[in-house]
Every structure is written in C-alpha cells, then in structure tokens.
Structure 1
Amino acid sequence: MKDEDLDQLLLQARPAASPAAQEEARRLARTMTSPRPARPVRRRRRWALPVGVAAAALVAGAGTVTAYQLGVPPFQTLPSGLARSHAVPVEWRTGAGTLVSCDAFLEFSDRDPEQRARINTMIANADWDGYGQRLYDALPAADKDVQTGPGPVGQMVSRDLRRRALEASAGPVSGSAMSCTYPEGAPVNER
C-alpha cells in the first residue's frame, strides 16, 4: 500500500464532527494563534533604582573598609584608649637565606596629641634601611639559629623602639607589636 492510498482510507474513516465541535475547534485555534493581551506593567517607584545602587555601594564600601582594616598588621583590634604608631619596616635575611619582612609598631596610651605626633615623626624621619639586618647581625650566634620572625630580632626591635620613643616623647610607651611575613616563602626548618 502506498502513502496516498493510506491517506485516502483514513480520510474516509474519519467520523464527521458536529457543527458545535467544529465551532469549538475554530475558537480554540483563534485563541491559541492570537497574540496575548498585554499585561498591565507594574510601575516601579522612582526611588527603587537609586536605593539599589546606594545599597550596593554601601556593601562594597563595607567590604573595602574591612579588607583595609585586616590589612593593617598585626590584624587585631586595640583596647579602648590604646593607640598604635606608624609602622616601622624591619627586614633581614637569616643565615639560612630566609627573607623576613616585618612591620613593628609602638603601642601607647595616655599620650597627648603632641607626644603621639613626636613618636610618629620620629618613625617617619628615621632611616630604616638595613635596620633589621643590622640588628640580626648583632645577635649572638645561638639566637641566629631562629629562622622565623620576629624571634630575637623582635625583642631587640622592641627595646630599641621603646628607647627611641622615650627620647622623642619624654614618656614611656605601653608596649610594641610586630607582624612578619616571608616574601620569598616560609623557612623550611622553622625553629
């Protein structure tokens, strides 16, 4: 049997549709092929876009401030009334070849703004090039075995910065802090 013969047989075998069924089929076809009626567009309030942009800016700004605060070593908050000086760069290379790079800070309280300014000016005006290496080279041989920072160098830095601050501000400091990194990679055998 050929396709044309099958088509002819199927046409002859189909039941006749009632006029009501034919009308319903036409109505359904019109409904399915006609475009949908436009839905009413909800109007956004005029302030929605500016508020959204402002919220995004605040969230981004908060993340930036937090990242900045966490980027200031030694990554901790200070008790109320305690202040920290500008960072003193301290860098040295150990006998094993490890480069240690630190930021040292003086911590002080009960300082008037003039004394704080003198401490920060002392730090800003000093030549810190080679400072950490000079301190490391002055260590006794036993202390040079320490390959991590701040170690014995940190103790020497603390004593020296306290002495300098005392001379600069005519008053003692509360303490000191150091934060160290290893720009070329951490030492293999830490001690």
Structure 2
Amino acid sequence: MDTLDERLASMAQALPAEAENEAHRMARATAPTRRKRARWMLPALVGGAVVLTAGTSIGVATMSHWAGVEMPLENVRNEQPIPLNWVTESGHSEQCRAWIEIRNPQDGDRASLDAAILAHNWTGLGQRMYDDGTPEPDDADGEGRVGAGLEPVLRAFAEDTFPGIAWLNANAGTTTRAVAATGFTCVPDVE
C-alpha cells in the first residue's frame, strides 16, 4: 500500500473521523516539503552537466597525450608528436616527443600544425641536438642538453608553419595568435 488513505481504508475497523483527520494532518506536517523548481532549472542542470562532461573529456584527451603538461582549454597543441630520440655515450636510449602550444588559435590551426609535423623530416634531430649540445652536470640522460637546443628549432618550425606568429609572451593578453609554450616529454625509464 502506497498511501495513507489506502492503509486507513484497509483497516479491519474504521477509525473515528477525528483520528483519521489527525493522521492526515500529521502526515502532511511530517512529510518533506517539495518546493516547486523553476522551469529553467532542469535544462540548466542538464546543460551544465553536458558542458562539464564535454570539457572534461577534451581536457583528458589532450592531457593523456602530453601527460603532466597543463594547458588552457582554449589553446591547441599538436596531436602528432615531434620525435626526439637519442642514445647517450653510455648507450642509454631516450625516446621523447616535442610539442608546440598555440594561444588564440585560428580555425584549423591544430590540423595545419599536425600536417606540417607529418610533412617535416625529423629524423636524427634528437641525436644531433644531443651530440652538438654541451654536457651538463647531473644530466646523464642528456635531456638538459637536448632541451637547450630545442627552442630555436621549434621556433623556426612554428614561424615557417604560421608566418608572422607571435612568440611566447609577445602580445600576451591580446587575441593575437601566438606560440604560448613549447617543450618535450620523455617516456619514463624502464631499465
């Protein structure tokens, strides 16, 4: 039985009218009140959940490719990795990938960046930067010396791909398209 009326009606002996009225009064007084929800509330909640879910999935997809490297959601970063691989003097092999992040991108910038990366010959870049770089103390894997030589290479590539693009903090706070960041990540050592 779902309602008080059903329960009262099923009793073997009917309650006096005063007792039935009192039971109804007590039920109304103790039942949780349900406020009427504004008509806009449900669409707003559903819309907010969809936006939050969509934003999260985009953020997760982007971050899964460049683990540990944060980026504002409105920026774009290459999805096609720029390979940076080298072998140290001790025979240790490093496998890394570089990225370029664009602030205030125009439509199609990510696709253009990825297409340019695919069209470019990156073979031996990491090894050349390792071999030409200056050894640093406590840098057995060579990431420091490769990183030191990476910025000019990525800058030249970005400027060739997007002529006139601003660099890093140039035009910060404006809507001018610019390279916001560059860098690289390496596969964790499993030796």
Which category describes the TM-score, using the shorter chain as reference length?
0.5 to 0.7
1:93·1:100 contact (CA, 8 Å) conserved in 2? yes
Aligned partner of residue 65 in structure 2, secondary structure: coil
Greater relative CO, 1 or 2 (CA 8 Å, sep 6+): 1
Aligned partner of residue 174 in structure 1, secondary structure: strand
Amino acid across the alignment from 2:152: R
- For residue 149 of structure 2, the aligned residue among 148, 156, 159 is 156
Provide the identity percentage.
24
In 2: Cα distance, 1:169 partner to 1:83 partner: 14
The offset of 1:108, in angstroms, is 1.0
- For residue 165 of structure 1, the aligned residue among 133, 158, 171 is 158
Structure 1 residues 156 and 177: alpha-carbon distance in aligned structure 2, compared to 1, 3 A threshold: same
Match of 1:81 in 2: 74
Match of 1:106 in 2: 100
The offset of 1:120, in angstroms, is 2.0
Aligned partner of residue 133 in structure 2, secondary structure: coil
In 2: Cα distance, 1:119 partner to 1:88 partner: 11
Aligned partner of residue 96 in structure 1, secondary structure: coil
Unaligned regions of 5+ residues in structure 1, if any? 1-64, 186-191
Structure 1 residues 153 and 116: alpha-carbon distance in aligned structure 2, compared to 1, 3 A threshold: same
2:129·2:145 contact (CA, 8 Å) conserved in 1? no
In 1: Cα distance, 2:107 partner to 2:60 partner: 27
In 1: Cα distance, 2:65 partner to 2:109 partner: 22
Number of residue pairs matched?
A: 120
In 2: Cα distance, 1:149 partner to 1:180 partner: 11
In 1: Cα distance, 2:137 partner to 2:82 partner: 21
Structure 1 residues 67 and 119: alpha-carbon distance in aligned structure 2, compared to 1, 3 A threshold: closer
- For residue 135 of structure 1, the aligned residue among 129, 133, 142 is 129
Unaligned regions of 5+ residues in structure 2, if any? 1-56, 167-178
What is the TM-score with the length of structure 2 in the denominator?
0.53
- For residue 122 of structure 1, the aligned residue among 116, 124, 129 is 116
Aligned partner of residue 99 in structure 2, secondary structure: strand
In 1: Cα distance, 2:60 partner to 2:74 partner: 23
2:85·2:124 contact (CA, 8 Å) conserved in 1? yes
Aligned partner of residue 186 in structure 2, secondary structure: strand
Amino acid across the alignment from 1:121: A
What is the TM-score with the length of structure 1 in the denominator?
0.53
The offset of 1:184, in angstroms, is 5.8
2:183 is the counterpart of 1:177? yes
In 1: Cα distance, 2:117 partner to 2:97 partner: 12
In 2: Cα distance, 1:117 partner to 1:67 partner: 19
The offset of 1:112, in angstroms, is 0.8
The offset of 1:67, in angstroms, is 8.4
- Root-mean-square deviation (Å): 2.7
In 2: Cα distance, 1:121 partner to 1:143 partner: 34
Amino acid across the alignment from 1:131: L
Structure whose CA Rg is larger? 1
1:132·1:153 contact (CA, 8 Å) conserved in 2? yes
